[in-house]
């Protein structure tokens, strides 16, 4: 037999399950990397506490969305599997084991690492057993005046059934003995701590003789005064617990008349979805844990017994309560590009050449100025913008309101179904509508995730388009902590393309083929596949002319992963900078040996989506709002835009190469799905974020 026809030389089946990593397990691995920042002694102490809180908050969302989704699949009897061929049952079981280990590690880091180091810095969390007489007196008065009036203890009996427990709230299960006010034996009670109460109370130094940064947990104060809550009865046990519920909103978009009203109706029920996790104090007796399990209809695998506060995410409050700049990242002033810093007219600056912003190293203010000047400029006829996540009181929204009130044509596409921002977006939509803005809620069944602003301006007899396209949201707060790119351009072709996309979103009509913009769910997926295939062809002709660098938050789409495998097999060098979930498995012999996957976890949350294709020596670089996930490619409205100005393109390529040299905060994905940190924290030599701060910040 000719060796070229041997079965050993046949093409591998790129759909086989062991070529793919499970997405839920990959997400847990991401949270491990976040938690590792809390242990990194090169990171300032208060920032490490924040990383711990972020890892806890991320895990909350994992249960609210991912775990609840798996449980629903199981309940519905779904046998569908992903490309990794793991069933919902298998995924839930393995995710539960890893989540339990991650939670145990979170509390170990808190108790064994961070709290002792806080103590060294005279930041103390005072236990009940350690209160001085002066502290106990002040806390008793504080309890009586600030806490007790807010509490509604619930004794349990046939007339007082187990109460509805709000999602992620602080609660206590209490065991009692003795007679109640009506002469009956007492057994159990539940106490819910209102969300309005702070979880950390700072002791006043002048009144208690405490240090300047002495704190007491709310749970400790309530526990210490349990006898006064249940006066006349004996409190035998007092244990914290918290539940996490399914928090997805279920809106049948095809059956409703008004999406905003439907969402408003659903928001009230979000806090009371099915329970998917119970966190309870580690010393809670078995019989009480079993009782709670029965009330919430959960299994033993859903119970997390923890040695510490049941909501670690609230530790983040500490950051703003302690004015210790030496324990935080150094402050910096975001830079402003000279093109806009030297000109008061931003439209004149954009006319001269495209302008690229790289947040948070560069300021978000030019974006605000862009909308503000458009609202005031008599030459501006119309403003169109998409909003996915922002605040109703943001400066961008204020400028849009002003523009509408001054008689300009203002159209805003608001994605009401932006997860966990639905309520804020309903408020935002109402405010804009009341100001006379034309507001639409995107497209039924397709989230509008694109980040676009289009300003239509008359200059003499000409109508000009000025466009801003971004990789991240129009949210001033996240622009300070997320790395994103934003492009200003007066390119007529891009402006016309964006104009058509807006028309499609408002009219729902078909539009002609776009010239420069790629957009989902229509052309983006196909275009990315075609560009990968072009690199494959170039590699077969000359391997030196083929290269792909992709930077994104998540990579899960099977067909795009298969295309990257084919590229690797053809000899294309593929570098992936994927912050979070990644289903692609590197290091498969004969399949993905030319693929390297890095995850960078640093001071700022890596959020930019940038796609580089070598294109035979004529590189193409795109920015995008979309990750390479099925939902972004087929169930969302996304835009992907070319960076055509050579100086901008080269700058972004330089940034990508910096991330590929990262040694301080880089983790490399291994063949088994785990991640290996590239250097010990004290031994790192190169930080991409550090370089960008030095180059771009003011």
Q: For 136-158, how does the pLDDT look when each residue is reduced to its tens digit (9 = 90+)?
A: 999 999 999 999 999 999 988 87
**Tokens 């009130």, located at residue:** 405
Q: Which alpha helices (DSSP H) does 508-601 contain, by range? A: 524-541, 558-570
Whose CA is closest to 205, among 293, 82, 122, 106? 122
Residue 250 is predicted with a pLDDT of 59
The backbone torsions φ and ψ at residue 611, rounded to the nearest 5 degrees and listed phi first, read -125, 120
Distances in Å between the Cα of 374 and the Cα atoms of 201, 346, 455, 456, 460 are 46, 9, 7, 9, 17
Pairwise CA distance, residues 201 & 594, whole Å: 54
Q: What percentage of the chain has pLDDT greater than the value 70?
A: 94
Q: Which alpha helices (DSSP H) does 410-491 contain, by range? A: 422-434
pLDDT higher for 378 or 267? 378
Q: Give the model's confidence band at 271: pLDDT under 50 very low, under 70 low, under 90 confident, else very high.
A: low
Q: Residue 417: count other Cβ atoms within 10 Å of its Cβ.
A: 19
- Name the strands in the sheet holding 214-217, side by side, starting at the edge strand that comes first in the sequence: 124-125, 214-217, 200-202
Residue 71 is predicted with a pLDDT of 94
Pairwise CA distance, residues 163 & 173, whole Å: 11
Check if the beta carbon of residue 371 is closer than 8 Å to that of residue 453.
yes
Residue 178 is predicted with a pLDDT of 81
Q: Kindly give, in sequence order, each residue whose CB lies less than 8 Å from that of residue 406, ignoring residues fewer than 6 positions away.
A: 375, 376
pLDDT higher for 674 or 444? 674
Domain 520-696 is in which class? Answer: alpha beta
The neighbouring-strand residues paired with 214 are: 124
Pairwise CA distance, residues 408 & 399, whole Å: 11
- Examine the pLDDT at 257 and tell me if it is beyond 60: no
Check if the beta carbon of residue 663 is closer than 8 Å to that of residue 679.
yes
- Examine the pLDDT at 306 and tell me if it is beyond 60: yes
| Dihedral-angle region of residue 566 (phi above 0 means left; psi in -120 to 50 means alpha; beta otherwise) | alpha
Q: Which two tokens stand for residue 89?
A: 């049952």
Exposure of 461 by Cβ count < 10 A (0-12 exposed, 13-18 middle, 19+ buried)?
exposed
Q: What integer is the mean pLDDT of 608-615?
A: 97
- Examine the pLDDT at 479 and tell me if it is beyond 80: yes
The strand pair at 675-677 and 666-669 is best described as: antiparallel
Pairwise CA distance, residues 316 & 490, whole Å: 42
**Tokens 């779904």, located at residue:** 78
The CATH code for residues 126-324 is 3.30.1840.10
Pairwise CA distance, residues 473 & 389, whole Å: 6
- Examine the pLDDT at 96 and tell me if it is beyond 70: yes
Residue 2 is predicted with a pLDDT of 42
Pairwise CA distance, residues 50 & 56, whole Å: 10
Q: Give the model's confidence band at 442: pLDDT under 50 very low, under 70 low, under 90 confident, else very high.
A: confident
Exposure of 349 by Cβ count < 10 A (0-12 exposed, 13-18 middle, 19+ buried)?
buried
Distances in Å between the Cα of 496 and the Cα atoms of 205, 304, 340, 350, 579 are 63, 54, 24, 16, 33
The strand pair at 124-125 and 214-217 is best described as: parallel
Residue 139 is predicted with a pLDDT of 97
Check if the beta carbon of residue 176 is closer than 8 Å to that of residue 186.
yes
Q: Kindly give, in sequence order, each residue whose CB lies less than 8 Å from that of residue 519, ignoring residues fewer than 6 positions away.
A: 450, 501, 637, 638, 639, 640
Q: Give the model's confidence band at 159: pLDDT under 50 very low, under 70 low, under 90 confident, else very high.
A: confident
Q: Which two tokens stand for residue 187?
A: 């057994």
Helix (H, G, I), strand (E, B) or coil at 213: coil
Catalytic residue numbers, as ranges: 449
**Tokens 């590197």, located at residue:** 586
Pairwise CA distance, residues 677 & 674, whole Å: 10
Whose CA is closest to 455, among 375, 340, 565? 375
Residue 344 is predicted with a pLDDT of 86
Pairwise CA distance, residues 242 & 517, whole Å: 47
Of 334-348, 446-460, 653-667, the least confident: 334-348
Q: What integer is the mean pLDDT of 546-562?
A: 98
Handedness of CA 154, 157, 158, 162 (dihedral sign): positive
Helix (H, G, I), strand (E, B) or coil at 303: strand
Whose CA is closest to 421, among 660, 682, 164, 247? 247
Q: For residue 147, what is the enclosing H or E element?
A: none
Q: What integer is the mean pLDDT of 179-199?
A: 85
Pairwise CA distance, residues 275 & 286, whole Å: 19
pLDDT higher for 542 or 629? 629
Pairwise CA distance, residues 99 & 106, whole Å: 10
Helix (H, G, I), strand (E, B) or coil at 394: coil
Check if the beta carbon of residue 157 is closer than 8 Å to that of residue 183.
no
Residue 4 is predicted with a pLDDT of 43
- Examine the pLDDT at 372 and tell me if it is beyond 90: yes
Q: Residue 558: count other Cβ atoms within 10 Å of its Cβ.
A: 17
Q: Kindly give, in sequence order, each residue whose CB lies less than 8 Å from that of residue 628, ignoring residues fewer than 6 positions away.
A: 528, 550, 552, 554, 555, 556, 557, 560
- Examine the pLDDT at 80 and tell me if it is beyond 90: no
Of 2-11, 80-89, 407-416, 422-431, the least confident: 2-11
What residue segments make up the domains of the chain, in order of their start? 126-324, 338-514, 520-696
Residue 263 is predicted with a pLDDT of 56
Give the chain's mean pLDDT: 92
Whole-prediction pTM value? 0.93
Q: CATH assignment of 338-514, given 3.40.50.300, 3.40.50.2000, 3.90.1150.10, 3.30.870.10? A: 3.30.870.10
Topology match between the domains 126-324 and 338-514: no
């Amino acid at each position: 037999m000719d060796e070229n026809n041997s079965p050993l030389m046949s093409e591998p089946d790129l759909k086989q399950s062991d070529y793919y990593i499970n997405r839920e397990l990959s997400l847990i691995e991401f949270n491990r990397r976040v938690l590792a920042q809390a242990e990194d002694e090169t990171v300032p102490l208060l920032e490490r506490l924040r990383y711990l809180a972020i890892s806890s908050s991320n895990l909350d969302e994992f249960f609210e969305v991912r775990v609840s989704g798996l449980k629903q699949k199981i309940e519905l009897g779904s046998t569908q599997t992903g490309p990794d061929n793991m069933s919902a049952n298998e995924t839930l079981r393995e995710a539960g084991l890893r989540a339990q280990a991650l939670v145990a590690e979170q509390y170990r880091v808190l108790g064994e690492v961070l709290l002792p180091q806080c103590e060294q810095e005279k930041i103390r969390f005072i236990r009940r057993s350690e209160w001085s007489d002066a502290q106990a007196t002040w806390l008793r008065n504080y309890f009586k005046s600030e806490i007790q009036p807010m509490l509604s203890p619930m004794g349990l009996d046939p007339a007082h059934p187990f109460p509805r427990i709000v999602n992620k709230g602080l609660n206590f299960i209490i065991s009692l003995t003795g007679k109640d006010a009506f002469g009956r034996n007492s057994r159990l009670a539940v106490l819910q701590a209102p969300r309005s109460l702070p979880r950390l109370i700072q002791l006043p130094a002048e009144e208690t003789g405490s240090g300047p940064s002495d704190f007491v947990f709310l749970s400790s104060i309530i526990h210490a005064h349990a006898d006064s809550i249940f006066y006349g009865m004996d409190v035998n046990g007092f244990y914290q617990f918290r539940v996490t519920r399914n928090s997805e909103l279920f809106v049948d978009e095809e059956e409703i008349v008004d999406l905003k009203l439907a969402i408003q109706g659903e928001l009230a029920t979000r806090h009371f979805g099915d329970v998917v996790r119970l966190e309870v104090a580690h010393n809670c007796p078995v019989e009480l844990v079993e009782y709670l399990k029965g009330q919430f209809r959960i299994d033993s695998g859903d119970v997390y017994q923890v040695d510490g506060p049941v909501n670690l995410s609230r530790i983040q409050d500490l950051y703003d309560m302690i004015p210790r700049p030496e324990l935080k990242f150094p402050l910096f002033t975001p830079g402003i590009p000279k093109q806009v810093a030297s000109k008061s007219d931003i439209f004149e600056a954009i006319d001269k050449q495209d302008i690229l912003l790289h947040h948070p190293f560069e300021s978000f203010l030019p974006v605000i100025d862009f909308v503000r000047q458009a609202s005031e400029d008599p030459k501006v006829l119309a403003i169109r913008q998409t909003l996915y996540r922002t605040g109703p009181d943001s400066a961008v929204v204020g400028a849009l309101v002003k523009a509408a009130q001054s008689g300009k044509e203002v159209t805003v596409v608001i994605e009401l179904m932006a997860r966990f921002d639905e309520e804020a977006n309903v408020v935002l939509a109402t405010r804009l509508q009341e100001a006379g803005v034309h507001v639409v809620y995107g497209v039924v069944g397709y989230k509008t995730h694109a980040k676009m602003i289009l300003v239509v301006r008359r200059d003499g007899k000409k109508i000009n388009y000025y466009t801003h396209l971004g990789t991240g949201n129009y949210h001033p707060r996240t622009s300070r902590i997320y790395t994103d790119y934003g492009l200003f351009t007066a390119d007529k072709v891009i402006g016309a393309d964006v104009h058509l996309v807006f028309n499609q979103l408002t009219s729902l009509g078909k539009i002609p083929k776009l010239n420069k913009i790629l957009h989902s769910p229509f052309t983006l997926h196909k275009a990315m596949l075609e560009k990968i295939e072009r690199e494959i062809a170039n590699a077969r002709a000359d391997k030196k002319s083929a290269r792909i660098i992709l930077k994104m938050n998540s990579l899960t789409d099977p067909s795009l992963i298969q295309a990257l495998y084919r590229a690797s097999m053809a000899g294309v060098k593929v570098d992936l900078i994927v912050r979070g979930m990644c289903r692609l498995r590197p290091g498969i012999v004969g399949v993905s040996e030319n693929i390297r996957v890095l995850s960078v976890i640093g001071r700022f949350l890596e959020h930019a989506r940038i796609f580089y294709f070598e294109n035979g020596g004529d590189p193409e670089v795109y920015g995008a709002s979309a990750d390479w996930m099925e939902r972004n490619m087929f169930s969302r409205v996304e835009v992907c835009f070319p960076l055509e100005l050579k100086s901008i393109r080269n700058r972004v390529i330089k940034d990508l190469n910096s991330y590929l040299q990262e040694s301080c905060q880089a983790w490399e994905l291994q063949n088994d799905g785990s991640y290996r940190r590239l250097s010990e924290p004290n031994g790192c030599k190169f930080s991409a974020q550090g370089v960008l701060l030095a180059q771009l910040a003011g």
